[in-house]
């Protein structure tokens, strides 16, 4: 019997019009367990034991991002980072409505809880969630 989590990934892939292939499942499982944005290099390194080559991983990351299952963002260092689209954001115009914390020392990126932005007297982009909020500072492990 299939693991319930795997089943729901398959459903999500199919409803996005993608075939549920082994590399796609592996990418989704990995990003779900990390719960933070990850670069292609990090994902490729983590999936090396599964023998998916870098090009396969990259193609699948892009397919999943185009299907809206992953979001892709540039945290200011010109490197794409991929993460699972949050359930409440999935299907909406705005994939990146939650803020991110970027460590200025090690460059590690983590997700922060959703931020309530004031809806009055702000650019339309804020109201529709088409903004990215990044908080820069020193992460706990670098501060220790
Ligand atoms: Zn750090
Ligand atoms: Zn995030």
Which numbered ligand comes closest to the C-alpha of 35? 2
DSSP β-bridge partners for residue 71: 83
Quick one: pLDDT at residue 94?
41
Using the mean position of ligand 1's atoms as its centre, give its distance from the Cα of residue 23 in Å: 30
Using the mean position of ligand 2's atoms as its centre, give its distance from the Cα of residue 39 in Å: 12
Domains of the chain: 4-143 (1.10.10.10)
74's tokens: 């540039």
Using the mean position of ligand 1's atoms as its centre, give its distance from the Cα of residue 101 in Å: 10
Which numbered ligand comes closest to the C-alpha of 31? 2
Pair 58, 65: CB distance under 8 Å = no
- Phi and psi at residue 77, to the nearest 5°: -110, 15
User: CA-to-CA distance for 144 and 140, rounded, in angstroms?
Assistant: 6
Using the mean position of ligand 1's atoms as its centre, give its distance from the Cα of residue 81 in Å: 16
The per-residue pLDDT string of the chain (144 residues; one tens digit each, 9 = 90 and over) reads: 456 666 688 998 999 999 999 999 999 999 999 989 999 999 999 998 888 889 999 999 999 999 989 999 888 888 999 999 875 544 444 434 688 999 999 999 999 987 776 667 777 777 666 778 899 999 999 999
Using the mean position of ligand 2's atoms as its centre, give its distance from the Cα of residue 7 in Å: 23
Strands in the chain per DSSP E: 38-39, 70-74, 80-84, 100-103, 109-111, 134-137
């Amino acid at each position: 019997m299939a693991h319930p989590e795997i089943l729901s990934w398959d459903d999500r892939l199919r409803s996005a019009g993608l075939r549920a292939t082994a590399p796609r499942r592996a990418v989704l499982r990995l990003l779900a367990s990390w719960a933070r944005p990850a670069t292609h290099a990090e994902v490729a390194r983590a999936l090396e034991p599964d023998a998916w080559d870098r090009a396969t991983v990259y193609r699948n990351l892009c397919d999943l991002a185009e299907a809206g299952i992953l979001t892709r963002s540039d945290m200011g260092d010109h490197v794409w980072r991929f993460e699972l689209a949050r359930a409440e954001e999935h299907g909406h115009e705005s994939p990146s409505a939650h803020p991110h914390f970027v460590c200025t020392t090690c460059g590690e990126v983590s997700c922060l809880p959703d931020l309530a932005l004031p809806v009055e007297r702000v650019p339309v982009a804020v109201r529709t969630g088409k903004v990215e909020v990044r908080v820069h500072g020193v992460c706990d492990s670098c501060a220790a």
